[in-house]
Structure 1
Amino acid sequence: MNKIRRIVTGHTEEGKSTIVSDAEIDGVSISTGKHFIQLWGNDSIPVHPDQGVMSPNLDWFPQGGGHRFFVWVVPPQSQKENERKSKDEIEQLLPGFLKHFEPDNPGMHTTDSVDCTYLISGSIVLELDDNQEVELFAGDSIIQNGTRHRWHNRGEIPAVLITTCIGSQRHN
């Protein structure tokens, strides 16, 4: 999955609905088989009528009030990782992505967002604190409320997921 067709609607100056764009969106790979395609996002609450334009230069995860919509692919753990991007390359491809990850605990991360995820194909394990795990299968969904977590694909095929992240605020 290297590209996905994205159709965006918006409004004309007269307030009529219209197709603003119809394009194929390229994804990025950060290691062998680990692929991300950001389809939409903004860092503010949408106001309509609008022109159907995505904000430029967005961090991967949204700020409070913002949102992201993306597809991502996690290869099976058994798949050999032949190529892995450097931290600088990942930061360039997925701005702000790595700052949410724990440097001493690979894969574990926390975001200030509500993540609504649907597993399209494959299976994947979500690990939370205290090694609590739940396995998801194609057709399952999960709502994460700013929880610390990491993902494991212990299956035989890539897991393909689609997520909408809604930026939230964290009170400590």
Structure 2
Amino acid sequence: MIDVGMDGARRSRLENIETVDLVPGQDREIWQSFEADAGVPFYPGPGESLFRFFILPPPDDALSLEDVHAIADQFFQQNGIEHCRGEASRNPFMHATPTADCVMLLSGHVQLLLDHGAPVDLRPFDVIRQRETNHSWVNVGPGPAVLITLMHGVPAGVV
């Protein structure tokens, strides 16, 4: 990540260069518009914004459906977002957050699942705009998928 700022004469300058390690299955926050001393939440509050990478691990054919459900349970619990779980008959990771989002697939092959219709096939540099929609991201492989998102918190239920 490269931070650019200005000096006292308002001339642009390089302030910092930091290597950002991306690990499958982990989020990497880049910026948020709010203080996060206790850790960055899964989604921002109303009027706040959050910019992050998220990496979907490659599919694992060795996992049973029961394993996937257990992983989803752990994901929602660890992130404190059980209340965001949506109707999950299509996928145990279905969720909706009180946010307006722009998401871009940077690498990999992902399908976007919604409540209705066929899975939406995504390729690198596809951009998804959504607001409070029940959805899930499915990495169809073969390797990890890297996405980046800008989430803006909105009052829940205001469509």
- What TM-score do you get using the length of structure 1 for normalisation? 0.67
Give the match for residue 37 of structure 2.
56
Any idea what the Cα deviations from partners look like across 1:94-138, whole Å, max 9, x if unmatched? x54554234966201101111111111111111111354211011
Aligned counterparts of 1:126 and 1:141: Cα–Cα separation in 2: 11
**Quick check: 1:133 aligned with 2:147?**
no
* Contact in 2 for aligned 1:42/1:55 (Cα 8 Å): no
RMSD: 3.3
Superposed displacement of residue 145, structure 1:
1.6
Give the match for residue 70 of structure 1.
52
Aligned counterparts of 1:24 and 1:56: Cα–Cα separation in 2: 22
Superposed displacement of residue 151, structure 1:
1.2
Distance 1:9 1:86, change over 3 A: farther
Aligned counterparts of 1:36 and 1:80: Cα–Cα separation in 2: 24
**Quick check: 1:24 aligned with 2:19?**
yes
Identity %: 27
**Quick check: 1:165 aligned with 2:148?**
no
Which SS does the other structure have where 1:38 is aligned? strand
**Quick check: 1:41 aligned with 2:22?**
no
Aligned counterparts of 1:118 and 1:56: Cα–Cα separation in 2: 27
Distance 1:85 1:123, change over 3 A: closer
Q: Which runs of 5+ in 2 are unaligned?
A: none
Which of the pair has the greater relative contact order for Cα pairs under 8 Å at 6+ separation? 2
Superposed displacement of residue 71, structure 1:
1.0
Aligned counterparts of 2:94 and 2:139: Cα–Cα separation in 1: 14
Equivalenced residues, count = 148
Superposed displacement of residue 144, structure 1:
1.2
Aligned counterparts of 1:113 and 1:68: Cα–Cα separation in 2: 10
Which SS does the other structure have where 2:19 is aligned? strand
Distance 1:139 1:85, change over 3 A: closer
2:2 to 2, 7, 16: 7
